[in-house]
Amino acid sequence: MNFKIPNGLGDMLRDFTVSAIRANPDNLYDFAVDYFTKMRESKKSKTIPMYIIVDDEDAGEPAPETIRKKTNNHRAARRNSVSAERYDPETDHGYEDEKIVHPKTDEQYKRLKDAVSDILIFQALDRDQITDVIDAMFEKICEPDEIIIKQNDDGDNFYVIDSGTYDVLVTTDNVEKRINTLINKGSFGELALMYNMPRSATIQAKSHGSLWAMDRTSFRRIVLKAAFKKRKLYEELLENVPILKSLEPYERMNLADALCTKEYDDGEVIIAQGDNAEGMYFIEKGTVCVDITSDTGDNTMPVGQLDSGKYFGELALINNKPRSANVRAVGGVKLAFLETESFERLLGPCLDIMKRNSEIYKTYADQTS
């Protein structure tokens, strides 16, 4: 009887065997279930569930004349009809041609830039994308007791607080309860847009105030598409880092999700010798130079340069000690940053290799002492 071996079976079994030997689990069956479940999840399509507009006129979308030109008139009406559909950022090619720009004064621009810098969902965006976020936001003036969003409504806009006081209200079993109050800072409204769900709370203005709002279409095309592009870019970057070859595909995917973008200008200090370690870096684009300062501070010895695909900053994390070298940008540099809390959890399988590679830094440190 002839049997046909499925394509990829040999590679799958080999990878599983290597992982099992390395992990040496107490219960091989539980390990196998966990391993293949994670592998299946890593192979699934990376589309993002998202709302789309059914009736643009009722939804209160920006008028056509606002597309690709500046306008002050944005009708912020609440959407009456939306339907759930998967938003596939990989097939959305209209963003670059349909950017919406709402003009702002220099003072407004600065205030908004400061406000969005502390918002978690924008942490993964680069400078150009942050500019797109700020451009796409329009101002909404609020009156006392005005309902900004209502629990169980469809999601329309994402809001950043410029000024004012806002109560967060949740109704359970017909009893309304205030669970939080936002005063002059913060943001709200992203969950319904990100997770294809109704509003989870009511937001009510308690004073005169001002909000900056971004419509759902701009939100998904900037924030969600950026998240998709970031993951894809970082997965490709991590695949070319030799020490990460020992990671399983799903482990590299989790690592990619934990990275955030940091950019530095020519000559800017990325790491200063003696500082406490906050994380490690992978070079996405550009070059950095590394040098070590002597204990007396009057002598600096160059260690070398690192370019795209290389990493640095791991030594202080491995040894739980202050930074042992200076790292500066050579020209413009874009880095992927991994914070300390995620370092050991995500890079545990690579620590032995990192420890061996880190001996070069100790050699240079000895030479300068």
Q: Does this model's pTM top 0.75?
A: no
**Mean per-residue pLDDT for 13-17?**
73
CB burial readout 164-189, b (16+ within 10 A) else e: bbbbbbeeeeeeeeeeeebeeebbbb
**Mean per-residue pLDDT for 68-75?**
38
**Mean per-residue pLDDT for 195-208?**
90
The pLDDT, as a whole number, for residue 5 is 63
Q: Give the C-alpha separation, 298 to 313, whole Å.
A: 23
Q: What is the pLDDT of residues 211-243, one digit of tens each?
A: 999 998 888 888 877 777 777 888 888 887 877
Q: Is the pLDDT of residue 369 over 70?
A: no
The pLDDT, as a whole number, for residue 327 is 95
More confident residue, 210 or 230: 210
**Mean per-residue pLDDT for 304-323?**
86
User: Which residues are known binding-site members for 3',5'-cyclic AMP?
Assistant: 190, 199, 314, 323
Strands laid side by side in the 147-149 sheet: 147-149, 202-205, 165-172, 175-183
- When pLDDT is cut at 50, 70 and 90, the band that residue 91 belongs to is low
* DSSP code of residue 277: P
| Contact (Cβ atoms closer than 8 angstroms) between residue 288 and residue 328 | yes
Lowest mean pLDDT among 70-74, 89-93, 334-338: 70-74
CA atoms within 13 A on the CB side of 169: 20
Reduced to 3 states (helix: H, G, I; strand: E, B; else coil), residue 361 is: helix
The CATH number corresponding to 240-368 among 3.30.1330.10, 3.40.50.300, 3.30.420.10, 2.60.120.10 equals 2.60.120.10
Lowest mean pLDDT among 13-17, 155-159, 208-212: 13-17
Name the β-bridge partners of 87: 48
CATH class given for the domain over 48-224: mainly beta
| Contact (Cβ atoms closer than 8 angstroms) between residue 163 and residue 60 | no
**Mean per-residue pLDDT for 18-46?**
72
Contacts made by residues 9-13, CB under 8 angstroms, sequence distance 24+: 12/39
> Would you list the domain boundaries of the chain?
15-43, 48-224, 240-368
Name the β-bridge partners of 157: 215
CA atoms within 13 A on the CB side of 266: 1
The pLDDT, as a whole number, for residue 253 is 81
User: Which alpha helices (DSSP H) does the chain contain, by range?
Assistant: 9-23, 28-43, 56-59, 106-116, 127-136, 190-194, 216-219, 225-239, 249-258, 314-319, 340-347, 351-357, 359-368
Q: Residue 30 CB: number of other CB atoms within 10 A?
A: 10
Helix (H) / strand (E) containing 332: strand 326-339
Give CA separation, 97 vs 68, 118, 228, 364, in Å: 7, 28, 19, 51
Nearest to 338 by CA among 319, 305, 312: 312
User: Which residues are known binding-site members?
Assistant: 190, 199, 314, 323
The pLDDT, as a whole number, for residue 287 is 96
What residue ranges in 249-299 does DSSP mark as E strands? 260-264, 269-271, 279-293
- When pLDDT is cut at 50, 70 and 90, the band that residue 160 belongs to is very high
Q: What percent of the chain has pLDDT over 90?
A: 28
The pLDDT, as a whole number, for residue 74 is 43
Cα 219 versus chain centre, distance: 14
Average pLDDT of the chain, as a whole number: 77
Q: What percent of the chain has pLDDT over 70?
A: 75
Q: Is the pLDDT of residue 303 over 60?
A: yes
- When pLDDT is cut at 50, 70 and 90, the band that residue 181 belongs to is very high
